[in-house]
Amino acid sequence: MQNPDDSPLLDSVLREVFPDACSQVGKANLRDIIARKGQVQFASMEGASRLDLSLALTLLASGAAIASHVLTFIKNSKDIGSKSPPEIILQSKISLSPELMDKLEPATLDKLLAALVSRTQMNTSAPGSDDAHKLPNQQRL
Amino acid sequence: MLRATLSSLWLFAIPKEPFGLVLLYPATILAAGYHFWHSSQQGLRLIGLAALWDFSVGAWLMIASLAKRRNALVAALVELKDCEYTPVGLEQFITAEQTTFMHKMSTLTYLGTWGLPIQHEDSVEIYLVSIGQSATIPDSLGSFNLPFLGATLLIRDHPEDAEVSERFFFWHEIGHTLGAEFALQSGLFKGVKSPLTALVLSLFVLGWNAYSLVVLLMCFVAIGSLFVLLAQRRTFQRIVSEMRADEFALKFLSPEDARYIEAHSEKLLPIDREFSEREHSHRATNIRRFVRSGKSFVDDQLNTTTFFVQSALLATSLIGWMVLLSRYISYSPQMMIRNLKWLLLVMIIANCARYVFFYGKGFFVDFILSGRIRWIDGKFKLQRPVPRG
């Protein structure tokens, strides 16, 4: 399960990068996808009269999986606090496995990483923000 | 009870135009044609048996149509494995005004006025799906509509707690339960199966010569034309059903919410793999026009008259060729009656068996949705009923 403190951060990142998909799938689906770091399975409703949400759900699950991985990477990197956002984005991208990289279009991936990094930095600079999202070096400072 | 039975017969078993006649009673047409050409004492008995045969083929196709949807629901519930289901009553959040509107649009309520024991609210079951250990969630907002037996909706958020688009999608799915498309779906599913079966059976009793061969060929050409017409209608009907459900859903939203859907319709509507990009865009345009003008434009596109004329012409031509074909039947009436009796017996037994199987799956569905059957250690297991409260 995802660290519960990361859920609001992931929620806001996914809502920023995939606003239409979030709106389509609704609260419960988004909550479950975030809580399970995108590791969800989809049951087909084939044969029903249905509104097919599979594309939006797959997109969000991919986004959540990548965002969770990058968040863990940033937290575990000791020297990342001294780097600029573009450098962090580049390092985060390098840390992704080919399977994770292939889940999203390059432009969407860049947008997701930028949103995630900016949120992480925003949280560290905001007074009284949650320590869970602080970069290791900045936490020490 | 008597009124309901008579109404059912009038509504579903009595054809109102040539199209209905040839799709419902093809064997009866052949038998009547045979009696016309080779008048005999056994002729009327043969017509009666042929009508029973057609009735049982119709019942088989109807059960198949129902079973198709129930099988889809069973498959979805099996795939959802360990999800929890919480029933949500429609009456919890529907206003009196909305109920009146729903009744006005509901074919089921209309059938209720004919004495059939059907109420719209009773026929819609809504379940809130909660994720389980296997982390499986439905890939769609799905409504499994079983004509006249009810609809099961699987949703993820309570409609009162849902976002605008979700509420729109929810009422859209309720729009699919209204019943107007039930009869059409069922009719389109049956298609030309019944006349095709009658023609294939006629191959065994025909006297073969050049004339019978040409007439038989013409019968198959007429059936082929009907098949193509129905296939076109099926594709078109699918998009029309979606647009009707969209319009129904918009009636249940506040003016602000409807305007939100109007503004974002192109992006909000999920990409349906069965529709082309053009059809998707057409649907979004229909939403915008409906919100702005409050008028439905779906009926303008249906071309019901064109379809009626085309289908009536093709059906009449098929009836004509079938009557002509019956002239070349070489079997004696006694032989045909004896064979038809056996076929009828087999069909009735098959119908009963299929219905029992279908009914049994209904128990499985009820038990999963009520939590009596649960996914434990990789398989479904029957649980003792837990006393409520």
Query: Lowest-confidence range among A27-41, A87-101, B279-293?
Result: A87-101
Q: Are B83 and B132 in contact (CB under 8 A)?
A: yes
The domain total for chain A is 1
CA nearest to B159, candidates B151, B150, B171: B171
Q: Are B273 and A52 in contact (CB under 8 A)?
A: yes
Q: Cβ of B134 and A41 within 8 Å? A: yes
Distance CA B302, CA A138 (A): 65
Distance CA B285, CA B273 (A): 18
Query: Lowest-confidence range among A28-37, A113-122, B252-261?
Result: A113-122
Residues of B whose CB is below 8 A from A52:
139-140, 270-273
Residues of A whose CB is below 8 A from B157:
26-28
End-to-end CA distance of chain B: 38
Of A26, A40, A55, the CB nearest to B135: A40
Q: Cβ of B72 and A45 within 8 Å? A: yes
Q: Cβ of A32 and B165 within 8 Å? A: no
Residues of B whose CB is below 8 A from A60:
none
CA distance A101 to chain B (A): 23
Q: Which residues pair with A52 in a beta bridge?
A: B140
pTM of the model: 0.83
Q: Cβ of A41 and B135 within 8 Å? A: yes
CA distance B199 to chain A (A): 30
Phi-psi region of B83 (alpha: psi -120 to 50; beta: other; left: phi over 0): beta
Of A24, A32, A43, the CB nearest to B268: A24
CA distance A18 to chain B (A): 11
| Digit-coded pLDDT (tens) for B304-325 | 778 788 889 999 999 999 999 9
Average pLDDT on B352-367 reads 93
Residues of A whose CB is below 8 A from B273:
52
Average pLDDT on B89-98 reads 86
Q: Cβ of A43 and B69 within 8 Å? A: no
Average pLDDT on B174-180 reads 81
Q: How confident is the model at residue B351, as a pLDDT? A: 95
Residues of B whose CB is below 8 A from A39:
135
Q: How confident is the model at residue B253, as a pLDDT? A: 92
Locus of tokens 């098949």 = B227
Q: Are B344 and B49 in contact (CB under 8 A)?
A: yes
CA nearest to A66, candidates A21, A114, A26: A114
| Digit-coded pLDDT (tens) for B103-152 | 888 877 777 777 777 777 778 899 999 999 999 999 988 889 887 778 89
3-state secondary structure of B25: coil
Of B164, B173, B268, the CB nearest to A20: B268
Most confident of A99-113, B4-18, B174-188: A99-113
pLDDT class of B259 with cuts at 50, 70, 90: very high
Q: Is the pLDDT of residue B187 over 70?
A: no
Q: Cβ of A20 and B267 within 8 Å? A: yes
Domain, as residue range, for A68: 4-42+51-140
Query: Lowest-confidence range among A101-115, A123-137, B28-42, B302-316?
Result: A123-137
E strands, chain A, where? 41-43, 49-52
Q: Is the pLDDT of residue A4 over 60?
A: no
pLDDT class of A130 with cuts at 50, 70, 90: very low
Q: Cβ of B163 and A45 within 8 Å? A: no
Whether the complex's predicted ipTM is more than 0.85 is answered with no
